[in-house]
């Protein structure tokens, strides 16, 4: 084979060889399950039975399923209430620990610790703290308030789980913002300060525009994560999804209906497709909003 042709062949094949392990993993753990889910969503498959084609039956059932609407409401609420906090609070935290002050490394590590802590352990600690005779109620009672039934009320349980999600994610997004803040030219701040801009003005007019792409990224990541929330709510509200199932989220419903020996894998797959579709729409909305901002 001529050298030129050999080089051309190598050039064509080599990248694919490098990509092969990664592609195989994606195919095995993402593509194949996705295609299986897609296929099952239109059947009445169960854990131990492959099922038969039922067309849109699962989706029709879903519309009449009271639990589905509760779960959709909770997952949507999670996005609406959690995302603003996970976009803004870590940015403020990053600004606090950005400066090279003595002891700042301790605070950076402290803020990051919840990220590496096991969600199970953290959720158990929160449950103990929020119990009717727990730390939080103890403190409230010191000030003559409470006790508040955080774990017995479906709304308070959901808000408590949201607070846990925000608290646990702060450190991770803080690190993302720290990297972005390092790229904001110091001269801009100095020039603005010389022109008489205060800290708030500099934050709004310099910092925010400079880290806006990162804010979009954090918004996109956290909205997808919030919509797919499972662990925090499951661990705090219990497997029934809180009192009368009122704290059930969509992913909890997928788990509840699709697992076990009697699992309705067909119905559960249809629910998963809905989660996927909403997640996709969320991502597109965030990206579109970003593009519009850029044009402006």
Q: Which residues bind another protein (CB under 8 A)?
A: 12-13, 16, 19-20, 23-24, 27-28, 31-32, 44, 46-49, 132-133, 149, 151-152, 157, 237-245, 247, 256-257, 259-264
Beta bridge partners of 49: 46
Say if residues 264 and 257 touch (Cβ distance below 8 Å).
Answer: yes
Cα 151 to chain centroid distance, Å, stands at 23
Q: How far is the CB of 167 from another protein (least distance, A)?
A: 22
Distance CA 254, CA 256 (A): 6
Q: How many CB atoms lie within 10 A of CB 278?
A: 18
Of 92 and 244, which CB lies nearer to another protein in the complex structure? Answer: 244
Query: Taking the complex as a whole, how short is the minimal distance between the CB of residue 32 and another protein, in angstroms?
Result: 5
Closest approach, Cβ 247 to another protein, in A, equals 8
CA distance 59 to 56: 5
Residue 267 CA: distances (Å) to CA of 57, 71, 162, 258: 9, 15, 27, 7
Q: In angstroms, give the least distance from the CB of 19 to another protein.
A: 7
Which residue, 43 or 86, has its beta carbon nearer to another protein? 43
Question: For residues 88 and 148, which CB has a smaller minimum distance to another protein in the complex?
Answer: 148
- 105, 97 in Cβ contact below 8 A? no
Q: How far is the CB of 229 from another protein (least distance, A)?
A: 17
Both tokens assigned to 257: 């209906």
Residue whose CB is less far from another protein, 13 or 191? 13
Residue 20 or residue 277: which is nearer to another protein going by CB?
Answer: 20
Report d(CA 118, CA 32) in Å as an integer. Answer: 29
Q: Would you say 227 and 271 are in contact if contact means Cβ atoms under 8 Å apart?
A: no
Q: Give the shortest CB-5-to-another protein separation in angstroms.
A: 13
């Amino acid at each position: 084979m001529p050298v030129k042709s050999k080089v051309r062949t190598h050039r064509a094949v080599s990248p694919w060889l490098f990509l092969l392990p990664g592609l195989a993993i994606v195919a095995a753990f993402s593509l194949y399950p996705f295609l299986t889910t897609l296929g099952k969503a239109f059947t009445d498959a169960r854990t131990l039975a492959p099922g038969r084609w039922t067309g849109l039956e699962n989706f029709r059932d879903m519309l009449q399923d009271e639990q589905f609407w509760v779960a959709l409401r909770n997952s949507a609420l999670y996005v609406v209430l959690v995302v603003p906090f996970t976009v803004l609070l870590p940015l403020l935290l990053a600004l606090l620990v950005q400066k090279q002050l003595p002891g700042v490394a301790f605070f950076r590590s402290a803020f990051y610790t919840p990220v590496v802590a096991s969600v199970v352990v953290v959720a158990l600690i929160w449950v103990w703290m929020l119990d009717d005779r727990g730390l939080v109620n103890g403190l409230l009672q010191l000030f003559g308030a409470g006790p508040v039934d955080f774990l017995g009320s479906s709304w308070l349980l959901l808000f408590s789980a949201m607070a846990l999600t925000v608290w646990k994610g702060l450190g991770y997004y803080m690190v993302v913002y720290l990297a972005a803040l390092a790229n904001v030219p110091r001269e801009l701040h100095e020039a603005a300060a010389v022109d008489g801009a205060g800290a708030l003005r500099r934050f709004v007019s310099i910092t925010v525009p400079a880290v806006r792409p990162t804010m979009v990224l954090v918004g996109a990541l956290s909205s997808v994560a919030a919509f797919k929330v499972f662990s925090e709510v499951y661990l705090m509200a219990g497997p029934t999804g809180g009192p009368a199932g009122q704290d059930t989220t969509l992913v909890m419903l997928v788990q509840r209906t699709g697992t076990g020996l009697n699992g309705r894998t067909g119905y559960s797959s249809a629910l998963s497709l809905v989660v996927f579709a909403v997640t996709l729409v969320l991502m597109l909305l965030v990206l579109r909003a970003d593009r519009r901002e850029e044009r402006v």
